Amino acid sequence: MEHRDDIGSKLGMWVFIFTEILLFGGLFLVYAVMRSNYSTEFHQAAHHLNTFIGAINTVVLLISSATVAMSITAVQKGDNRRAVIFLLITLICAGIFLINKYFEWGHKIHIGLYPRSNLMVTLNHGSVMFFSLYFFMTGLHMFHLVVGAIILTVIMIKVHRRTINAGRYVLLENGGLYWHLVDMIWIFLFPLLYLLT
C-alpha cells in the first residue's frame, strides 16, 4: 500500500512539472510569434545551428530517458546494483549532452554570434531575436539538465546505499519524472530551433 507521504510527494512533483510546462510553453509561444513576424530572418539564422549535434543530443537524451525508466523497474524488482548502472548511464548521457552543447555554444561565441556581441548588433532584428531565444531557451534547458543530473546523482547514491529500495522508491520515481521533463523539453526545442528552417 502506498504511503500518504509518497502520494503527496508525487502530487507535488506533478504540480511542479505543470509549472515548468507553463514556463516553457510561454517561451514556445514567444518563439512562434517571433518566427511568424520574422520568418525569413529566422530561416536564415537557423542555418548557423549544427543540426548533427542537435540530433546526437536528441538521441542521447532519449537513451537517458530509457535508462532512467529501467532504473525504476530494477529497483522495483529489488535489483539495486542494476539500477545504479542504469542511473550511471543516464548521467554519462547527460555529460555527453553538456559536452556537445559546450562545443556548439563555444563555436558561436568564438565567431562572435552571441547576445550583445559586436557581430550581433550588426544583424537585423529578426536574427537577433532568433539567437537571443536560442541562447535563452537552450541555456534554460541546460540549467534544468544540470539540476536533474545533480538530483539523479544524489538518488544514485541513495540507491547504492539501499536507502531507496523495492519498498521505498518514490524519490527515484520523482527524479525520473523530472528527467523525462528535461527530455521532453528538448524534444520540442530540437525541431523548433534546428529543423524548422
pLDDT tens digits, 134-156: 999 999 999 999 999 999 999 99
Mean pLDDT along residues 75-100:
97
Phi, psi of 187 (to 5 degrees): -60, -30
pLDDT of residue 10: 86
Torsion of CA 146, 149, 155, 156, to 10 degrees: -150
Percentage of the chain beyond pLDDT 90 is 78
126 contact partners, CB below 8 Å, separation of at least 6: 34, 37, 38, 40, 41, 42, 45
pLDDT greater than 70 at residue 1: no
pLDDT greater than 60 at residue 94: yes
pLDDT of residue 33: 95
Answer yes or no: are the C-beta atoms of 40 and 126 closer than 8 Å: yes
- Write down the architecture of domain 4-195 according to CATH: Up-down Bundle (1.20)
| Per-domain residue ranges of the chain | 4-195
pLDDT greater than 90 at residue 159: yes
Output the pTM of the full model.
0.90
Mean pLDDT along residues 4-31:
89
Mean pLDDT along residues 66-79:
97
Q: Which residue has the higher pLDDT, 177 or 3?
A: 177
pLDDT greater than 70 at residue 129: yes
pLDDT of residue 65: 97
CA angle 48, 51, 67 (to 5 degrees): 140
pLDDT of residue 103: 94
Query: What is the rounded CA–CA span in Å between residue 114 and residue 25?
Result: 24
Answer yes or no: are the C-beta atoms of 51 and 191 closer than 8 Å: no
For 24-60, the pLDDT digits (tens) are 999 999 999 999 999 999 999 888 899 999 999 999 9
